[in-house]
Amino acid sequence: MKMSTRDRTETYRTKKFTELFSELEDCDEIEQKVGILEINKIIDEMNEEELESIFTPNLFNKVDKMIEEKKMTMKNAILLLKHVGYCNVLKNVCNRCFRGSSLNKIFEEMIFKEEKKRKEKDEKFLVDLCECYLLLSDCYSLKFVSVCVPCLLKVALNKEESEENQKEVETALFTLSYIGKWNDVGKILFLEEIKEIIQYNQEHRNLTRLAYQSAIQFLTDRLYKDISLEQIIMNELHFVKEARRELEELIGCIDWKRERKEKRRGKEAKEELVLLRWLKILDFCFDLCKLWNEEYVGLIDSIAQVHRAAKENNREICFYCIYSFKLATENIVVKVEDLLNGGAVDAVLEEIRQSMLIDKIALSSLEYMLEISERLKDEVDDEKGKEERKIMKKKVIEKMEEEGYEDVIVSFQEILPFLCKNFNIDSLDISDYFVNI
């Protein structure tokens, strides 16, 4: 079978990586550093499948052996491994190989050993250790969090505007964003510092887009353990306004046609990946939010704009747009009027009329419409509200008829059992749609 251009490119990258990596143990420290920088450039271009195939327990154990035999310095090992972790996290690669490697325990021991030092403590080395360990590992205890979080926040608080410092701040915040929503991080470890970082950026725009998104994500992830943070996130840090601004600016700075070509070659611009990360953290406000207000209509509209921009170019982004809408319908504090006025219905209709549907997008679209139909049946207390709801139902039904909605729904009868089975959900009642409201 003839290989495609993409397959040949991937094969070339993996072979080149293997070749350069095998040469590292025969180099002196300076030559080795140059070789690692070349390897890191290749890693930047790799897609998810390549990253998963290359970074195995054997590779990490090989690095450990090279360190033990003094064929690689720890600084060079960190230069390589931190970049591996950074690219894995940025491209959303779930790689659990590091946890089972011998290097995992070595890094843990080194972090505590360096942290316990007083006069001779090497702060930069400790930062590198923390970043490398957190980016590569997917499971760590509170004792590591209590050491690493203050260490990385100290780096992130540096407001120097040099390009080198911006990169260091970005890496520190990016690493913090990977700690995960279910890890306990007490407020005393982070709250005042992360508020200062976010508020300073809102005034001075000193952070890169990825750094700012990462700072927001680190804070919003803490909401899953401490719902009291919602007041700070929404009111003091103006989350909705900032999210809208970031989404709309990212739409404008991404060359979507170029993105299609880059993805075919296995590359993605960082702006597109940042946009995807923003959409993922929006889940929290639609899932958990209790402080709903009219600003959210604008946020829904911004997500609909993202969907329109990405529709022909990035289906993963389209999915997270539709999934956000679906989550919003399930949150009782979100008004049904806001869900209909913010452009979400148009985006969902565009999806379910696609000739080629992605299963998870089809499922979220159907769930959105079913939930909207149920919400429109909710009782309204006052007479004015009942009349407004009646008018809204009429407008919705008319729109559905214009778009050929009933025919589309009938066509879903055939794939509905498949969606329910493969996504492990209860049966959806397709007959209970707008046409029966």
Q: What is the mean pLDDT of residues 343-353?
A: 82
Q: How confident is the model at residue 1 (pLDDT cuts 50, 70, 90)?
A: very low
CA distances from residue 390 to 203, 403, 435 in whole angstroms, order as listed: 45, 20, 14
State the Cα–Cα distance between residues 373 and 434, nearest whole angstrom: 6
CB 402 within 8 A of CB 353: no
Q: What is the pLDDT of residues 243-302, one digit of tens each?
A: 999 999 999 998 887 655 565 454 568 899 999 999 999 987 788 888 877 788 899 999
CA Rg value for the chain: 24
Task: Please report, for the chain, how many H helices and E strands are present, in that order.
Answer: 24, 0
**Under 8 Å CB-to-CB from 290, ≥6 apart: which residues?**
227, 230, 333
Tell me which residue has tokens 């913090």: 176
Q: What is the mean pLDDT of residues 92-115?
A: 86
Q: What is the pLDDT of residues 76-89, one digit of tens each?
A: 999 999 999 999 99
State the Cα–Cα distance between residues 227 and 264, nearest whole angstrom: 41
pLDDT given for residue 262 in this prediction: 60
Joined tokens for residue 197: 């970082």
Q: What is the pLDDT of residues 388-406, one digit of tens each?
A: 777 777 776 676 666 555 6
Measured in residues, the chain has a length of 437
Judged against a pLDDT cut of 70, whether residue 426 lies above it is answered with: no
Q: How confident is the model at residue 407 (pLDDT cuts 50, 70, 90)?
A: low
- What value, to the nearest 5°, has the Cα angle with vertex 267 and ends 266 and 273? 120
Judged against a pLDDT cut of 60, whether residue 328 lies above it is answered with: yes
Judged against a pLDDT cut of 50, whether residue 48 lies above it is answered with: yes
